[in-house]
Structure 1
Amino acid sequence: MDEKLSKLVQDRVGGAQPVCLFAYDLDRLTEHVRTVVASLPPRCRMFYAMKANSGERLLRALAPLVAGFEVASGGELAKARAVGGQIPVIFGGPAKTPAEIEQALRQDVTRLHAESVLELHRISEVATRLGRIAEVLLRVNLAGPFPTATLAMAGRPTQFGIAEELLPEAVDTARRLPGIRLAGFHLHSLSNNLSAPAHLELLDFYRRTVRQWEREFRLEVEVLNAGGGIGVNYADLDEQFDWAHFARGLPAVVDAFPEHCREIDFECGRYLVADCGRYVVEVLDIKRNHGVDFVLVRGGTHHFRLPVSWQHSHPFTVVPVEDWPSSAPRPELRDAAVTVVGELCTPKDVLAREAPVSRVRAGDVLVFSHAGAYGWEISHHDFLSHPHPEHVYYGDSA
């Protein structure tokens, strides 16, 4: 734990309320994102997928560094525009309403990712009524096969994109309808891929597929959006996606795209922001039930739902707190495997299972790493009406 975070924790220990906060290191964030963006070859652009974390302070730190924001709702678009009226924005999502499409066009999004033939008609109707031309990418649910990843977005039945066998109808519709300009394709097929070589192979598979479509449909693809899908290894923090390897191999793949493909977009979220965030909670109690040692904390999955959503044991460290003001005996475990649970009235409120600890006591603080993405954003904040955690941003970039 760095010194600034340590001070944040120590300043709150022994306060009126147990420690419970999200802490975001904006210097760590901007250094990482600068490195990623600087390593991209010409024609490649990195958009930030706001669904990972749409906190205003993070967005303002990211805005000067990335090519723009990827949004998946009218609400996210409003947050993006609150940060900057001229920031490039691309709009995805599988079920856009006509009102969201109108909002997108009125607020000058760069392009929309169309997910069905009906959605193409909706975009056309709104664009024609407003006297606009909507630049569109067709999101295609490819048949695959794809590398192994935590989530499959294509290659299997999902709600995302246009089935590959229906692409001829979609291309014809996009060309025929007024108010639409077909610029290319969106091929986000998986999520949380941890293999850099596999991700290079995936991008080359996209290249070959798009070239085949160009021949089949007699078109020139100007923009390919390769999605995000670059992951974070929560099980082994020392074995992460090798971005340096990916960046070294990327120019060869990109150079094989035809010159008329002017733009190859990535829209990463988790990979950009996960490591800048920490979820910090105080241990309220320790108990043993049916042979399992439980550590109960202020907070839980109503703040940080990622572990239960992805069914993993989230990594944490124990910060010892020596002060124990109570006259009650202080529960303690040594050299134990503990299950960390929150304050909700459900056995599913679990942050970590069978996690080894050398020592943990009531009153100590647990710091969950890599909590900057898909934590607060996907959580059921008001279940049981517990207090919300504090959100703290620190670093020179703050």
Structure 2
Amino acid sequence: MTALDALLRDRAARDEPVCLFAYDLDGLRRHVTAVVAALPPRCRMYYAMKANSAAPVLEALAPIVAGFEVASGGEIAKVRAVAPAAPILFGGPAKTPAEISHALDAAVTRLHVESVLELHRISAAAVARGTTVEVLLRVNLAGPFPSATLAMAGRPTQFGIDEADLPAATAAATSLPGVRFAGFHLHSLSNNLSAETHLEMLGLYRDTVVGWEKELGVVVKVLDVGGGIGIDYQDPAHHFDWDGFTRGLVAWVDSVPAHWREIQFECGRYLTAACGSYAVEVLDVKRTHGTAWALVRGGTHHFRLPVSWQHSHPFTVLPVERWDPSVPRPSVTDDRVTVAGELCTPKDVLARDVPVARVRAGDVLVFALAGAYGWDISHHDFLSHPHPEHVFLDDDRA
């Protein structure tokens, strides 16, 4: 029996319905250690903590990754609470002046800049503190880019500097006091599942930035190629070919200028998704208009990812025999079931029309791949239901 199975059996024996996130910190460390070890020289892996900012997750990753990519002053504070000296990359499309000041006071390593106005705000904050801070210019490239779940560039989005505005942005970045231009940031997509097309995209990045160096008269020391490496939620057995990708990455690194001293990756989902599970007890089973429903203690206010990305999230059924014989126990056998939560909205659906051998009221549904963009992106207090339990499974701490 795994640690997760033992945990769920223990919780199912209690009176309160099961509703929890469980995170396998040992598995997380093994996975991320292997990911980082496969990177060629000059490449660095930063953790994009927007995927999961729980303190035990940050503590587990701090000794393994090169640092943390953050997108708010609050995330800076979370990093500094568990890793006071960790390198921090500060991004985000709408930084407030107060956040910029906080970032400088927290000694962030670099800021990823989204506009010329933001450059001036950073310059003013740095001058006021008598310091200089490195910046990367985030550029919204024209593309084309591989197919992915979310597009950050190659179309009108709020992210980055338009290529047409790059001459003015580089002029400001190389002349304003308190600011030291280090290179470019090119995070263009999210959840790409193809290693081959990801390498092709890096080829576009290389050729574009080499051209900018010549055209704009700048010297790049750091290139941030973003994250965007995906998880296949519809077929969990299908994995992004990280080994094949890093083999191709060796040749790509050899092809970029030697003065590009660091290639930054900032992955979130790919690092933490598999470490988390969301487990919820089935409160009721019923049919309406020919559809079988499993209604659970929980829903999208805890685990918003499925409705956010409009997919049916994979789950397994943990049978629970404990049941009060004085009341009926509704069930579905050899049929398709839709899993809905406890919210008063028809959009509170975690999985739709999924074939099951059997599911009964009182059984527990376990949603895999819930370690990224689960709890962190959810509207926790809608309808004021109790929050789920969060359990961190860690052999190092027994």
Alignment correspondent of 1:117: 116
1:1-398 equivalent positions in 2, closer than 5 A: 3-398=2-397
- Structure 2, unmatched stretches of 5+, are none
8 Å contact from structure 1 (residues 61, 397) kept in 2 = no
Identity %: 69
Q: Tell me the secondary structure at the aligned position of residue 176 of structure 1.
A: coil
8 Å contact from structure 1 (residues 137, 186) kept in 2 = yes
Q: Which amino acid aligns with 1:87?
A: A
Q: For 1:176 and 1:24, locate their aligned partners in 2 and report how far apart those are by CA, in whole Å.
A: 47
How far apart are residue 175 of structure 1 and its match?
1.2
How far apart are residue 311 of structure 1 and its match?
0.3
Q: Which amino acid aligns with 1:136?
A: V
Q: For 1:293 and 1:281, locate their aligned partners in 2 and report how far apart those are by CA, in whole Å.
A: 17
Q: Deviations over 1:364-383 (max 9, x none)?
A: 00000000000000001011
TM-score of the superposed pair, with normalisation by structure 2: 0.99
Q: Which amino acid aligns with 2:223?
A: L
8 Å contact from structure 1 (residues 276, 371) kept in 2 = yes
Q: For 1:166 and 1:199, locate their aligned partners in 2 and report how far apart those are by CA, in whole Å.
A: 26
How far apart are residue 354 of structure 1 and its match?
0.5
Q: Which amino acid aligns with 1:189?
A: S
Q: For 1:396 and 1:242, locate their aligned partners in 2 and report how far apart those are by CA, in whole Å.
A: 28
* Aligned structure 1 segments of 4 or more residues deviating by more than 3 angstroms: none
TM-score of the superposed pair, with normalisation by structure 1: 0.99
How far apart are residue 395 of structure 1 and its match?
2.8
Q: For 1:243 and 1:114, locate their aligned partners in 2 and report how far apart those are by CA, in whole Å.
A: 29
- Structure 1, unmatched stretches of 5+, are none
Q: For 1:218 and 1:290, locate their aligned partners in 2 and report how far apart those are by CA, in whole Å.
A: 66
Q: For 1:12 and 1:83, locate their aligned partners in 2 and report how far apart those are by CA, in whole Å.
A: 29
8 Å contact from structure 1 (residues 26, 397) kept in 2 = no
Q: Tell me the secondary structure at the aligned position of residue 31 of structure 2.
A: helix
Q: For 1:156 and 1:315, locate their aligned partners in 2 and report how far apart those are by CA, in whole Å.
A: 31
Q: For 1:340 and 1:397, locate their aligned partners in 2 and report how far apart those are by CA, in whole Å.
A: 35
8 Å contact from structure 1 (residues 277, 369) kept in 2 = yes
Q: Deviations over 1:126-157 (max 9, x none)?
A: 11111110100000000000000000000001
8 Å contact from structure 1 (residues 117, 173) kept in 2 = yes
Q: Which amino acid aligns with 1:143?
A: A
Q: Deviations over 1:54-79 (max 9, x none)?
A: 00000000000000000000000000
Q: For 1:40 and 1:130, locate their aligned partners in 2 and report how far apart those are by CA, in whole Å.
A: 36
Q: Tell me the secondary structure at the aligned position of residue 105 of structure 1.
A: helix
Q: Deviations over 1:181-220 (max 9, x none)?
A: 0000000000000000111111111011100000001121
Q: For 1:196 and 1:290, locate their aligned partners in 2 and report how far apart those are by CA, in whole Å.
A: 43
Q: Which amino acid aligns with 1:369?
A: A
Q: For 1:16 and 1:326, locate their aligned partners in 2 and report how far apart those are by CA, in whole Å.
A: 15
Q: Which amino acid aligns with 2:372?
A: A
Task: Give the paired residue count.
Answer: 397
| RMSD after superposition | 0.8
Q: For 1:355 and 1:165, locate their aligned partners in 2 and report how far apart those are by CA, in whole Å.
A: 48
Q: Tell me the secondary structure at the aligned position of residue 354 of structure 2.
A: strand
8 Å contact from structure 1 (residues 153, 189) kept in 2 = yes
8 Å contact from structure 1 (residues 183, 221) kept in 2 = yes
Q: For 2:355 and 2:253, locate their aligned partners in 1 and report how far apart those are by CA, in whole Å.
A: 44
Q: Deviations over 1:97-131 (max 9, x none)?
A: 11111111111100000000110010011111111
Q: For 2:287 and 2:96, locate their aligned partners in 1 and report how far apart those are by CA, in whole Å.
A: 50
Q: For 1:22 and 1:33, locate their aligned partners in 2 and report how far apart those are by CA, in whole Å.
A: 20
How far apart are residue 328 of structure 1 and its match?
1.0
How far apart are residue 326 of structure 1 and its match?
4.3
Q: For 2:186 and 2:235, locate their aligned partners in 1 and report how far apart those are by CA, in whole Å.
A: 28
Q: Which amino acid aligns with 1:344?
A: L
Q: For 2:325 and 2:18, locate their aligned partners in 1 and report how far apart those are by CA, in whole Å.
A: 16
